[in-house]
Chain A
Amino acid sequence: MATGPIDPNFKAPAPERVGEETGTWSHVIQNLVYTVDHKKLGLMYIGAGLLFFVVAGIMALLIRVQLFVPHSDFLEPAVFNRFFTMHGTAMVFLVGMPIIFGFANYLVPLMVGARDMAYPRLNAFGFWVFFFSSLFLYFSYFGAPGLYNAGSAPDVGWFAYSPLTSKAFSRGHSTDYWSLSLLLSGIGSIATSINILVTVFCLRCKGMTLGRMPLFVWLFIVVAFLVIIALPPLSACQIMITMDRYLGAKFFDTQAGGSAVLWQHFFWIFGHPEVYILILPGFAIASEVIPVFSRKPIFGYPIMVAASVMIAFISLGVWAHHMFTVGMTSLGNTFFAISTMVIAVPTGIKVFNWIGTMYGGKIRMELPMIFCIAFLFQFLIAGLTGIMLSVVPFDWQLSDSYFVVAHFHYVLIGGLLYTIFAGIYYWYPKAMGKMLSHKLGLWHFWLFTIGFHLTFLPQHVSGFLGMPRRIFTYEADRGWEIWNQLSTIGVPIQALGILFFVYNLIWSYYKGKEAGDDPWDAWTLEWACTSPPPEYNFEKAPEVRSRRPLWDLKHPEDPDWKFE
């Protein structure tokens, strides 16, 4: 593509935008189906994730309508139970995982100065396996009817405890749709994570030692390691439960000496690292956005790396804090209480470091930063309720109650989703070449934030008042009504916020301000190419000497490599 003598800069003229290479729809679709380009696949992952976000969100809306008043008959119990199962399963596996892998896919090769991921075809495979698994899960609504009232979508909760999932208690095929679709999506996640690891270890551009990589990349190494270690236990669970259900195996058959608790151990050995897999990318995004919008480098880069590695390592040893009520010995309970409390320390350190980055800076209140500030506040709440849950006796009251529901929604919405929003407002200009509208973004932010707190803050109280999870209705005089009503009212407000967001995404693609290469005056390599980048990313492989190569270019009198 280069014409003439070698260009000393490593950017190329802006290509036509995604989907505009040729004119026809069939070309667009073929383009997407055949692509192995990490940027297109990244956008496809994020697009699919956002689509399922809306679907699973509608399920949540219906759940909350049902719970608005006691003894509501808006939804039948079986329908309600399928909704909360599908909502949870979809949000974790069809929204959270693809969106984080989408971000990784798009940005990691750019940030390390590579041309693409190490295994582009494996990348495409990972996406299509995930996409098939998502359709497979939802196909259960059509494909799974079995015996009388025993079919349709899975209704066993997103963690599908034994023996509720045995053939005896889950007739029909609904549970199988759950386990097989997750087995598939797990394969996709593992494939993508291996890709990330090989890309980061083996394709970094010249000068980019591990100590000079953006924190975003470091966090994704950690995430990828967690995936390759923690997803196999989930696959093992699915294999075992399917063997139990179809080959008469006795893994979880309590009548044959099997253990129901063993499922819980194996599942949470996956499940706890999974929630760190989900939140660490949020940390990755925050670690890129906060410095740029505070106009300072991240405070304590080496500690941030060390804390992230520690969090991952410890997260492999806390799983039974989901099982404090199952009847473990006091020694077992104490061990897991300790490990869970210990993990709070590096997590807290990261929060302080982000605040330390902002301290003494010049904070630009653009939308990426606004979402990150809200993230910090909300993640603080989430972390503190997590500490409360780690105090085992407190957990004996709060486990399996709405307090836990409030806790993890503060983590996943207040934490992860907000950083995803921040990341989208931050990198959309890079991917699309247009800025997202600030005004529409503010509507999105305020509506969604008000709605979010209105929905989930009261749930802490209903938990304190004894309201268990996963109940399709409740009695009138338990003191739960007002909290449920407030909670439900928040949902349409959030939905309105999302509508503004979706509208912003579409409107800005056509009418947004031209972004240029580097609209935020940032410092990492992805801002060195055009917006959007050409297919090959960099015309000439970059060479870096510090953690902020673009800062060095922009401030030759004060480069980072003199001080790091």
Chain B
Amino acid sequence: MRRVADMFKPLSRPAEMIHDISVLTLLICGVIFVIVTVLLVYVVIRFRQRPDDDGHEPPQIYGSTHIELAWTIIPILITVVLILVTSRTIGEIQNREMPENALKIRLVGHQWWWEIHYPEYGIITANEIHVPVSDRDPEKARPTHIVLQSADVIHSFWVPQLAGKTDLVPNKDNEIWIDPYEVGVYFGNCAEYCGTQHANMLLRVIVDTPENFQKWVDNQKAPPPPPTTPLEIEGERLFFANSCVSCHKVDRTVSQGVFGPDLTKLMTRQTIGAGVAPLTHENLWAWVKNPQDLKVDCYMPDMQLLPKEVDAITAYLETLK
């Protein structure tokens, strides 16, 4: 698990490109910092008024064209270097051609969860993005290209170890690409204030081996097993009888709700509520009972269910795997 999303430990090509230019920038700024600070400290110490000062004013110097030129030209040169490397890196990241085999994903931001479409596979899921691992060798690389959209306000996709951030803006399609080198789970956040629960709009990118990724795809496409126990069947009945279906969808059923996350493969996810709590039986039960307890002001209301109804619905939801 890469919970500490350190931008200086990049594990994807765009993040690496960013890392390289960032280190260069830090070095340049570090050198400037040291030089100017040393100069400042020197001046403060050397030209301090001494206790035995005779009270005469020091020589009244008004300026010096040579010195002015020197400390204008050197910063200009540094600026030119930075401009050149910056423009090059911008182009390398933003205008990168995607290979044919790139995985294509469409990510839609909602208040306060993520909707993910895999158009090539016909999969819709939520809050966790599965991608196949890529390769450092450009010949063997399989990057993932993500189109970014928003259903409501502006959000931002930020998984520091995989790429810089790009915003999800309503009525504007943005795009980003990642090229992860190592299998694992990568953590990120929504990085544009989007309302009350902005802090709990968390993101996981799960990088699988190609085999595991295919297994995941197959599982996502397969129908969930039908409910068997009486409790699960009762839960299914309640799920469809209540207004759950006006917001949520379970594949191959009559539910068509798109306002909330697709629940078809809910149990394959690691968290509930876009990362607000791990997906355990207790947390799922608590969420179904009253989501406002875990994520106050989220758009799923307290459904005023009786505890035994919650038992049943939870049991049904736990079949969605």
Contacts and interface: CB of A to CB of B under 8 A. Distances in A.
B147 to A, nearest CB: 11
A51 interface: no
B261 interface: no
Interface of A: 76-78, 81, 149, 155-157, 161-164, 168-169, 254-255, 257-261, 294-297, 299-303, 325-327, 329-330, 333-334, 337-338, 341-342, 344-345, 348-349, 351-353, 355-356, 358-365, 373, 376-377, 380-381, 384-385, 387-388, 390-401, 464-475, 477-479, 555, 558, 560, 563-564
A388 B166 contact: no
Nearest to B32: A384
B245 interface: no
A387 B82 contact: yes
B259 interface: no
Given A465-B5, A472-B199, A295 B58 contact: yes
Given A300-B63, A344-B75, A393-B17, A164 B82 contact: no
B169 A326 contact: yes
Nearest to A342: B79
Contacts of B165: 325, 396-397, 399-400
22 contacts: A157-B193, A161-B153, A259-B172, A260-B170, A260-B171, A295-B57, A301-B63, A341-B86, A345-B76, A345-B79, A358-B44, A361-B58, A362-B47, A373-B40, A384-B33, A388-B25, A390-B82, A391-B21, A396-B165, A400-B191, A473-B199, A560-B60
Nearest to A398: B7
Nearest to B26: A388
A544 B161 CA distance: 62
Given A327-B174, A341-B82, A399-B165, A77 B197 contact: yes
A35 B25 CA distance: 52
Contact of A260 (B15, B58, B169, B200): B169
Interface residues of B, number: 89
A393 B153 CA distance: 24
A76 B196 CA distance: 10
B198 to A, nearest CB: 6
B29 A296 contact: no
B266 interface: no
Best-buried of A162, A295, A364, A377 by chain B (most CB within 10 Å): A295
A193 B171 CA distance: 39
Contacts of B127: none
B4 interface: yes
B174 to A, nearest CB: 4
B185 interface: no
A334 B48 contact: no
Contacts of B296: 76-78
Interface string B96-118: 00000000000000010000000
Given A337-B83, A396-B164, A164 B154 contact: yes
B241 interface: no
B43 A254 contact: no
Contacts of B39: 355
Given A297-B62, A362-B48, 7 more contacts: A299-B62, A329-B94, A338-B83, A388-B25, A393-B90, A396-B165, A472-B199
Contacts of B111: 169
A440 B4 CA distance: 43
